Structure 1
Amino acid sequence: MRLTNVLLKKVKSKRIMVVLESAVSGHKFNMFRDRLADKIELIRFDPYIQQDSLYRERKKIRSA
């Protein structure tokens, strides 16, 4: 193994980008969270129904 392979090892980032989806209408938006944190659930304004709605994390998009 060469020294360059050791030095160029990929490092995982501490934060990841995830998709949050409304439980009511299906509206989606992206948000960052720490890699080791629990999945996100929050209440936020939903523009489709013009009310506050529960948003749940659906999937990871990429690391940041």
Structure 2
Amino acid sequence: MFLTNLLLKKAKSKLIMVQMESAVTGHTFNKIRERLADKLEILRFDPHIQRISLYREKKKIRSM
């Protein structure tokens, strides 16, 4: 392995984009969070039922 490959190694980003899913209807949206933070659970307005519902982190989409 060449020394330049070691020196030019890409650093990990501090942020990641995750997909949030409603526990009630399955409605999804994307949110950005820190890589080292715990998985997100938030209350947010759900347009399908016109009420506030719980959203949980479903999966990681990409690094930012």
Q: TM-score, normalised by structure 1?
A: 0.94
> Who is 1:55 aligned against?
55
- Long gaps (5+) in structure 1: none
Q: TM-score, normalised by structure 2?
A: 0.94
Q: State the number of aligned residues.
A: 64
- Long gaps (5+) in structure 2: none
Q: Runs of at least 4 residues of structure 1 off by over 4 A?
A: none
List per-residue Cα deviations over 1:11-37 (Å, max 9, x = no partner): 110000000000000000000000000
- State the alpha-carbon separation in 1 of the partners of residues 15 and 32 from structure 2: 6
Q: Which residue identity lines up with residue 46 of structure 1 in the other structure? A: D
- CA RMSD between the two structures: 0.8
> Who is 1:43 aligned against?
43
